[in-house]
A = this chain, B = another copy of it.
């Protein structure tokens, strides 16, 4: 028997609503400062500043096809029956500076993307010519400007090409490369310290033995943090106050999430330590699962205290920690889940005054609550298609109600 051990609980302070807790989690959070990255590493990052092009793209008149650069007026009246001869005086290839000048009755062989020679103002398609060698014959007219890409056609110098806050798409990094914008200032990715504690925990990769269990929260949280654009830094600790205190107070994290020892039992040290080292603004939330969630600040770093039961941990991360991670990274605090509207096959029961996170399976288009709903049953969220949130103002949803399902997979049909 452990001397002096007392299982009696301290009790929560006034429980917060989900909305109040999210507000506290995001209070004072703004995007981190920028860092420069190479264009090859910029996709998926969040642009820190508006980007204005310093150049015209293209910077020169270019041919849009393979053919002959001509003076358009030289071709007027040309037909198959009235071919007009043109002398080939040169070739223009991409990337070369054309030193030829096209005078009356002359042309330059040109390929797609090559610069237009001086004097020429149109490109005659090969199909509208005959002959070869040093001379061709135009068999159709071409108007001024035809098949010529103008300077700045894609991007004009001074144009705003991408806005700050944009998550860079593949084509965006292509365009940034084309305009020579380098390096690219993006919002720094937040370092998220994930602190998992418990004498009963074996590290991921171990096999469960006896009453030791393998930590499932740190791989799950690390994956969630990566999904949200953060760098996970995993710290696993025994149930020991000094180690936890050090991990909470040590510099280097932009945000801290803890899993376990979150409630009000005798062993639940994390909220007490956060309160001691900094401030604990929220402890206890009117939701199920995840009621024993806390929100505080230590040394200016937001700390989100997540419950250790893995389903509670997942839900509390998504409700409160994910928005902080994404906001620090310049991303939307909104859920990264696609949502769909579907009809309930069976009712979902909740309680007024409590927000519920109900795991559901979509089967033949209908929404079925997952039968086993214990917050310790991680397989309930691997079997689920997604979840339904029952707001605190409702007692639940009746059968046949259309509800919003937030999909764990890309869409709820996976």
Residues of A within 8 A of B (CB): 1-2, 5-9, 38-40, 42-44, 55, 57-60, 62, 64, 66-68, 88-91, 93-98, 100, 109-115, 126, 132, 149, 153-155, 161-162, 167-180, 182-183, 198-201, 204-208, 210-224, 226-227, 234, 263, 265-267, 308-310, 314, 336, 338, 372, 374, 376-379, 381-382, 408-411
Contact of A208 among B55, B88, B183 (CB under 8 A): B55
Contact of A68 among B2, B7, B68, B94 (CB under 8 A): B7
Instruction: Please tell me if the beta carbons of B154 and A378 are within 8 angstroms of each other in the complex.
Output: yes
Instruction: Please tell me if the beta carbons of A178 and B214 are within 8 angstroms of each other in the complex.
Output: yes
Instruction: Please give, as numbers and ranges, the residues of chain B lying within 8 Å of A223 by CB-CB distance.
Output: 43-44, 168-170, 173
Residue of A98, A183, A207 most packed against chain B (CB within 10 A): A207
Instruction: Please tell me if the beta carbons of A226 and B43 are within 8 angstroms of each other in the complex.
Output: yes
Instruction: Please tell me if the beta carbons of B180 and A207 are within 8 angstroms of each other in the complex.
Output: yes
Contact of A213 among B68, B178, B377 (CB under 8 A): B178
Number of copies: 2
Complex CA distance for A224 and B168, rounded to whole angstroms: 12
Give A197 Cβ to nearest chain B Cβ, in Å. 11
Instruction: Please give, as numbers and ranges, the residues of chain B lying within 8 Å of A111 by CB-CB distance.
Output: 7, 265-267
Complex CA distance for A169 and B153, rounded to whole angstroms: 44
Complex CA distance for A8 and B66, rounded to whole angstroms: 8
Instruction: Please give, as numbers and ranges, the residues of chain B lying within 8 Å of A199 by CB-CB distance.
Output: 93-96
* 18 sampled A-B residue pairs with Cβ under 8 A: A2-B93, A7-B67, A40-B222, A43-B219, A58-B213, A59-B210, A66-B263, A66-B265, A95-B200, A95-B211, A97-B210, A112-B308, A153-B372, A155-B379, A171-B378, A173-B220, A176-B219, A338-B411
Complex CA distance for A92 and B66, rounded to whole angstroms: 82
Give A124 Cβ to nearest chain B Cβ, in Å. 11
Complex CA distance for A60 and B154, rounded to whole angstroms: 66
Give A91 Cβ to nearest chain B Cβ, in Å. 4
Instruction: Please give, as numbers and ranges, the residues of chain B lying within 8 Å of A60 by CB-CB distance.
Output: 210-211
Instruction: Please give, as numbers and ranges, the residues of chain B lying within 8 Å of A183 by CB-CB distance.
Output: 205
Contact of A219 among B8, B39, B161 (CB under 8 A): B39
